[in-house]
Structure 1
Amino acid sequence: MSELAWLTERPIAHRGYHDMNKDVWENTLSAFSRAIDAGYSIECDLQYAADGVPVVFHDDDLQRLCNLPGALRDRSSGELGLLSVGGTKDRIPTLKQLLKLCDGKVPLVLELKGRKGDDEGFAETVLEELEGYKGKVALMSFDLWLLKDLKSLNPPYPIGLTADGKNPDTFFAHDEAMHLGLDFISYFYGHLPNPFVTAHRQRGIPVITWTVRDEAAREHTLANADQMTFEGFDPRESPALVS
């Protein structure tokens, strides 16, 4: 069995097992607890706070999730940890808080969200936070410079490319990243199948998709990839269309 079989053996909850930000919001400890209880792997986003601490948050700014102006990177992890997500009791968590909560119960797929020219030390700090963690972890990014940083540090975790696109110019850029020796690919399901992904699957590279929200997308993933990153439904049931 492949050493990476764990990555594709169960559905992956996109930003945790939230309810499309109705009561349980994305990238919160509540969403992660819900995924753990259901036995799903957790995908989430890491950003670099002003004090050099990795926090779990998707957007570059705070408006959509916290109803506040300004960039996330302008605030320290302590300040961010006081901000309500979606008006709930949940606050913006640090990576350390996620690791403590998860404690190896389900796999983690961590996406580093980069800002070019402003990521010095980001990859290294994430790996420092992970040191000694006993659970299954994979790291990925859209950003070539972060993938280069991660590979240069020779971490004991699989590293993957997050990507989309259907044209040859896009595939050229993706291949540049794969030449780093990456271990898996996370691809937008709507851009499958394509020659880039097909070629790497034939080489034995696992492919997961993002973000599956309905039955058609799930079936498309099953036909063209190895596992889905999902939101808005329970994979144990047939999903209705999520708007």
Structure 2
Amino acid sequence: MRHAPARGSVVTSVLEAIVRDLPWHLSRPIAHRGLHGGPGGPPENSMAAFRRAAAHGVPFELDVQLTRDGALAVVHDAAVRLPSGRARPVTSLTLGELRAVASSVPGAAVPVTLPEVFAAVAGRVPVMVDVRRWGVAGAGGLERAVTAAVRRYEGPVAVQSFDPRTVYRLRRALPGVPVGQIAGALRSAPRALRPIGRSMATNAVCRPGFLSFELDALPSRALRFWQRRGLPVIGWTVHSPEQERAARESVTNVFFSGYLPSAYA
């Protein structure tokens, strides 16, 4: 006589089937700024961190900004501190100047460009590109540069931004690419965008394909509103298996840092 499978095994099988049918950015944990850290590990947003992620078969996220000479530099912060102590916006420096500044800081990642990362990864793992716009200067130039780089790349890629204008432009320019809206408290974003980050009211116009939500901003009534309307959510950032398990009660996928999820063990 055949016994009915245990309820837990049925639920697990159903969930595994659902995950298999999801696109990569919703089913595979994403390494935040590459696979970095640990004893002797590479710095975040470095080519070494991206190569390490690719070697482990791990999708990763990186941040890009446009330099004064039009390069898509992989840099997170809006400004860098010069040896003199003065801060300069990334957008006011050339790629060469930016690299010279980074080279003067022990342990800092020397900025690479998005096309250089694409060439190094060569489609081995998916890449999530965080497009970081800090103002209206050069409006459209950043998005055009990202669009051109993504169109030339043959590997799996998704893009996201905290600026709804960027989300709108990229969604229209890259119809076959997942485009997401970053949301949450967004304390590091321009002040004018923070209320939008909490309410996500621009989603109705920008129509992102997913939300990238700050886990520290949970619980969020606005997030639940958009989830009920079918928008999947990637939570950022978890730093342990315990945090990942807790986050998955509220979100579809996660950005992780500081450990290797069991999915890649």
TM-score interval for Structure 1 and Structure 2 normalised by the shorter chain = 0.7 to 0.9
Match for residue 25 of structure 1 among 43, 51, 64? 43
CA shift in 2, pair 1:44/1:154, >3 Å: closer
Q: How does 1:147-162 map to 2 (within 5 A)?
A: 147-162=167-182
RMSD (CA atoms): 2.8
Gap change, CA 1:136 and 1:76, over 3 Å in 2: same
Gaps spanning 5+ residues in structure 1: where? 238-243
How big is the shift at 1:170?
Answer: 5.1
**Cα deviation digits, residues 203-225 of structure 1 (max 9, x gap):** 33221111111344212211001
Aligned length: 233
Could you say which residue in structure 2 is the equivalent of 1:5? 23
Displacement of 1:5: 1.7
One-letter amino acid of the structure 2 residue matched with residue 53 of structure 1: A
Residues 118 and 37 (structure 1), Cα distance of their counterparts in 2 relative to 1, 3 Å cut: same
TM-superposed CA distance for 1:13, in Å, is 0.5
What is residue 116 of structure 1 aligned with on the other side? 135
Q: CA offset at residue 72 of structure 1? A: 1.8
Cα deviation per residue 1:23-72 (whole Å; 9 max; x = unaligned)? 411100001011111211111111110111211010112239xx884222
Structure number with the higher helix fraction is: 2
Greater displacement, 5-14 / 187-196: 187-196
CA contact (8 A) 1:212 1:229 kept: yes
Residues 132-191 of structure 1: CA distance to partner in whole angstroms, max 9, x if unpaired? 31111111111122223223434431110111049xx65774121343221000001122
How much has 1:200 moved relative to structure 2?
A: 2.7
Q: Which runs of 5 or more residues in structure 2 are unaligned?
A: 1-17, 187-194
**Which residue is 1:235 aligned to?**
261
- Residue in 2 that maps onto 1:107: 126
Asked whether 1:135 is paired with 2:152, we answer no
**Cα pair 1:84 1:92 within 8 Å, conserved:** no
TM-score by length of 2: 0.78
Q: Look up the SS of the partner of 1:224 in the other structure.
A: coil
Q: Distance in 2 between matches of 1:78 and 1:156?
A: 33
TM-superposed deviation, 1:85:
8.1
Determine the structure 1 residue equivalent to 2:10: none
TM-score normalised according to structure 1 size: 0.84
Does the aligned pair in 2 maintain the 1:20–1:26 contact within 8 Å? no
C-alpha separation in 2, matches of 1:156 and 1:108: 15
How far apart in 2 are the matches of 1:25 and 1:130?
A: 24
Q: Determine which of 55, 68, 78 is the counterpart of 1:50.
A: 68
Specify the SS of the correspondent of 2:158.
strand
Computing the radius of gyration over CA atoms, which structure comes out larger, 1 or 2? 2
Is residue 110 of structure 2 the alignment partner of residue 84 of structure 1? no
Does 1:198 pair with 2:211?
no
Residue type of the partner of 1:38? H
Asked if 2 retains the 8 angstrom alpha-carbon contact of 1:11 and 1:41, the reply is yes
Rounded Cα–Cα distance in structure 1 between residues aligned with 2:199 and 2:93: 32
Structure-1 residue corresponding to 2:113: 94
- The separation in 2 between residues aligned to 1:162 and 1:143, in whole angstroms, is 8
Distance between the aligned counterparts of 1:63 and 1:236, measured in 2? 38
In structure 2, relative to structure 1, the CA distance for the partners of 1:201 and 1:20 (3 Å cut) is farther
- Partners of 2:232 and 2:252 within 8 A in 1: yes
Identity value in percent: 27
For residue 127 of structure 1, give the secondary structure of its aligned residue in structure 2. helix
- Cα offset for 1:123? 0.2
CA shift, 1:130, in A, is: 1.6
- Assess if the C-alpha contact under 8 Å between 1:187 and 1:208 holds in 2: yes
